[in-house]
Amino acid sequence: MDEPSITALKAAFIRSQVRHLETPLEPSTQWRDLLLPEPTEGHLSDKMIQDLVSKVNDKIKQHNRLIFSTQSQRHVAEQIESLHWTLVSADDADPDLDTVAIRRDADLTDSEFIASLPQDYDGGLHLHPDHRPREREGREGPGDAEREERYTRMREELLSLSQQRDVLKGKLAQYRRLQQLMEPLREPQENIQPNLVTRDGELSQELARMRVLLARVTAQVGEMGKTTRPHEEGQPNAAQTDQQKLARVMGWGEVG
């Protein structure tokens, strides 16, 4: 399955926040206790409060539909991704020509990318600033030896996991092919039962028809042998074609 893009992730986050804003307001059950003593002429009933809150909720829905439309949310998400790639592209322009650049959005789950990682961490890797939080915060990072050892260990682990995943993908593809082959067995009454020789079954009826046809052919062949043998002894016939022989056996008459 493909990984979601930055736009899709940001759009999903914006939608979740908009849903929070669309949550209907509910008056507190103790709102009367928070008010000063009401005058006798300005009494607020519960129905008036409910009507007022309902109107406010309608206004909020109208506002959200107008301001936070689907197109607007998508546009904001695309702008965020555009700014992200602008930052990454600007940072990638800094490394030397002989360095191996690893982008901030590098897909470390892709087998080809994992295999392309350099074997040694000799200072030739150019990492995005987001990969170097300590340097970004002004703190001293680990030494070159420790960094190289850590890189080698993590690269080997990543290669091992990638190979295991490729093996599992192969097994998954094989199991899916087997599942496809076993698909006809899901409905045995429709796909298997008609092909079994059972009493009053379709295959049994077909075999019975074949037996009748075989008996008829055998009888006609026997009758034809009795009637043609004397004639053949007295006067030889010309060679007959296979089609003519079959016509005589089946009783179709003469075939030219």
> With pLDDT > 70 as the criterion, what percentage of the chain qualifies?
60
pLDDT at residue 112 tops 90: no
pLDDT at residue 235 tops 60: no
In which domain, by residue range, is 4 found? 1-34+44-93
pLDDT at residue 129 tops 60: no
The pLDDT score that the predictor gives to residue 186 is 79
Residue 15 lies in a domain: yes
Same domain, yes or no: 125 and 58: no
Residue 28 lies in a domain: yes
Higher per-residue pLDDT: 1 or 169: 169
Residue 107 lies in a domain: yes
Same domain, yes or no: 15 and 88: yes
Residue 63 lies in a domain: yes
Most confident of 12-21, 33-42, 43-52, 138-147: 12-21
Same domain, yes or no: 83 and 149: no
Same domain, yes or no: 61 and 145: no
Residues in the chain: 256
Distance, in Å, from the CA atom of 114 to the CA atom of 160, rounded to the nearest integer, reads 10
Mean pLDDT on 217-225: 81
Same domain, yes or no: 144 and 59: no
Same domain, yes or no: 149 and 162: yes
Contact 11, 73 (CB under 8 A): yes
Split at pLDDT 50, 70, 90, the class of 174 is: very high
Residue 113 lies in a domain: yes
Same domain, yes or no: 105 and 156: yes
Same domain, yes or no: 14 and 56: yes
Count Cα atoms within 13 angstroms, Cβ side, for 194: 7
Q: Which tokens in the block code for residue 207?
A: 């075999």
Mean pLDDT on 48-52: 86
Split at pLDDT 50, 70, 90, the class of 50 is: confident
DSSP letter, residue 222:
H
Same domain, yes or no: 151 and 128: yes
Average pLDDT, the chain: 75
Contact 141, 114 (CB under 8 A): no
Q: How many domains is the chain built from?
A: 3
